[in-house]
Amino acid sequence: MSSIIEDVMARKLFNSRGQETIEVDVVTVDGFGRVGAPAGASTGKAEVVSYPKGGVDAAIRIFEELVVPELIGMDAEEQNEIDALLHEIDGTDNFCNIGGNTAFAVSVANAEAAATSYDLPMFQFLAGYAGNELPYPLGNVLGGGKHALGKTTDIQEYLVIPLKARNFVEAATANIMVHEKIGAMLRKADPNFTGGRGDEGAWAPNIENEEALKIVVKACDEVSDELGIEVRACLDVAASSFYDPKKQVYVYSMEGKKRDSGEQLEFMLHLIEEYKLAYVEDPFDEDDYESFAELTKKTKNCLISGDDLFVTNRERLCKGIEMGAGNSLIIKTNQIGTLSDAWETTKIAKRAGYVPVMSHRSGETPDAHLAHLAVGFSCPVIKSGVLHGERIAKINELIRIEETLGNRAQMAIL
């Protein structure tokens, strides 16, 4: 069997929001990999540049001119060398020349091509025989912010996680049940609710922030009782998206309130304690390490996670670790560019006791690679949505992985 790269090609496709994106194929002597790049809506300012000037068309042209000739003949099994080459060709620290999404698509497609060259599933190629832990699915069930249109919640995502689920199938079932119950509750509470959903399939009602959380918690409690497991509510506040840096306040349009950093801290503490939240993501502006650290110090039994804060960047993560900001982080490979970069950040996080959460993006593709990355990186949690085809693709692939592992499969320790 051979993993020598024979051909590489790229094309323009569309993501789940109908936006243009790049998809890359990597062909080896005995393998094949294909990956489309996703896109975020509430993006961190420290993320790598998605595309060079000129967008996807320019990215494909640069890819064909600069990247393809260098990749032909290389060994896909040498992931670090492939990723280092992408950095060398680009020549910047944020992939502004070839585009972070190009680097992402090449890097992950290469890993899949290497895996299939040896007739291995990608998770096993990445983790070896030890890769046998399934992540808990963190699912978006209600929300607004930049993921929905019209008058919706300021808080971007109301999430649920099925802790103590006995297997992944049961965990996925729990999230779907919560989603269904919330839909029924919303229709009962508001006869005018038309069933609108946001980018990720979560309900997008016209409802006040804390009232929404009460409904989510009620649905979690009901499903917990029905299944005999512990389903808990979580939040992705995406606070940077409604922070006014000039006035240094968080503008809650739905409530008609403005909160300074101290008031935001007290509000977050109230929500965590009152509703027994298991996870809170981006509760403050992306540069407010101090408030992240203060909230982390004052909470127990709740993960305080950084997405815009860390953007899968090892330098920003190391600063957070030094300050005690958070105890969890989102891993989005296309925030940093390559698989090797994302893995380095994940390793640093684990050594510091931070819980890595492998995450989708709001503008997704039907690719299922995220499932393999979650298991391959041994992430205890995967954030992949609950409904819509591009989200279910990841969930269904984890069910297949669980089946492939058989008796070796077990839920991660969290």
Which residues are the active-site residues?
A: 200, 332
What is the 8-class DSSP label of residue 406? G
Helix, strand, coil percentages (3-state) for the chain, rounded to 5, are 45, 20, 35
**Which secondary-structure segment (H or E) carries 392?**
helix 389-405
Specify whether the backbone of 249 is left (phi greater than 0), alpha (psi in -120 to 50) or beta.
beta
Distance CA 135, CA 383 (A): 9
What is the 8-class DSSP label of residue 370? H
Local structure of 125: helix, strand or coil? helix
Tell me if 259 sits within 8 A of 252, measured CB to CB.
yes
Cα angle 193, 199, 202 (rounded to 5 degrees) comes to 50
Q: For residue 125, what are the CA distances in angstroms to 85, 111, 375?
A: 21, 8, 11
Query: Per-residue DSSP letters for 247-260?
Result: TTEEEETTTTEEE-
Residues 369-402 as b or e (16 or more Cβ within 10 Å = b): bbbbbbbbbbbbbbbbbbbbebbbbbbebbeebb
Give, to the nearest 10 degrees, the angle between helix 289-298 and helix 261-275.
30
* Residues in Cβ contact with 398 at an 8 Å cutoff, skipping those fewer than 6 apart: 134, 135, 137, 168, 172, 371, 374, 375, 382
- How many Cβ atoms sit within 10 Å of the Cβ of residue 350? 15
φ/ψ (deg, to 5) at 50: -65, -45
Distance CA 213, CA 154 (A): 12
Distance CA 204, CA 206 (A): 7
Range list of H helices, 228-368? 261-275, 289-298, 314-323, 333-336, 339-351
Distance CA 312, CA 54 (A): 25
